[in-house]
Amino acid sequence: MWISNAYAQAASAASFEQQLMGFLPIILMFVVLYFLMIRPQMKRNKEHRTMIEALKKGDEVITAGGLVAKVTKVGDAYVSIEVARHGEQSVEMHVQKQAVTALLPVGTIKSI
């Protein structure tokens, strides 16, 4: 009497378009996230991996701890680096290959 009857309506094509428009901002956020964060990180990882694979004796490197050193021996997982030299004596350290963060141009280190 006071309340009108509610009748079910047939689904139309407009409701599908509305659902698609509701998901559009989420899809756009994922696209932006991919191009601004994920893709550049993957590119940096690939460059780091190729740099580590190309390490050889005599290269000058910077480690994750900030050490500037010269590579003396390259193994499968570890690299021996010369940190200091005094006459015939030298200080060598063994670090993981992943700890090498940058490859310097040859001749950058003058004191070693």
Are 57 and 71 a contacting pair, CB within 8 Å?
Answer: yes
Question: Using 50, 70 and 90 to split pLDDT, how confident is the model at 111?
Answer: low
Domain total in the chain: 2
Inform me whether the pLDDT recorded for 12 exceeds 80.
Answer: no
* CATH at residue 88: 2.30.30
For the stretch 37-78, pLDDT in tens is 999 999 999 999 999 999 999 999 999 999 999 999 999 999
Identify whether residues 43 and 75 lie together within a single domain: no
Compute the average pLDDT of residues 94-102: 96
Write down the mean pLDDT value for the chain. 90
| 6 is a domain residue | no
What domain range includes position 77? 56-104
Q: What is the 3-state secondary structure (H, E, C) of the chain?
A: CCCCCCCCCCCCHHHHHHHHHHHHHHHHHHHHHHHHHHHHHHHHHHHHHHHHHCCCCCCEEEECCCCEEEEEEECCCEEEEEEEEECCEEEEEEEEHHHEEEEECCCCCCCC
For residue 106, pLDDT over 90 is answered with no
| Angle 58-59-62 from CA coordinates, rounded to 5° | 135
Region for 47 from its dihedrals, namely left if φ exceeds 0, alpha if ψ lies in -120 to 50, beta otherwise: alpha
| 30 domain residue, yes or no | yes
Are 63 and 99 contained in the same domain? yes
> Is the pLDDT reported for residue 96 higher than 60?
yes
Residue 40 and residue 71 share a domain: no
Q: Are residues 50 and 17 in the same domain?
A: yes
66 with 39, same domain: the answer is no
Residue 3 included in any domain: no
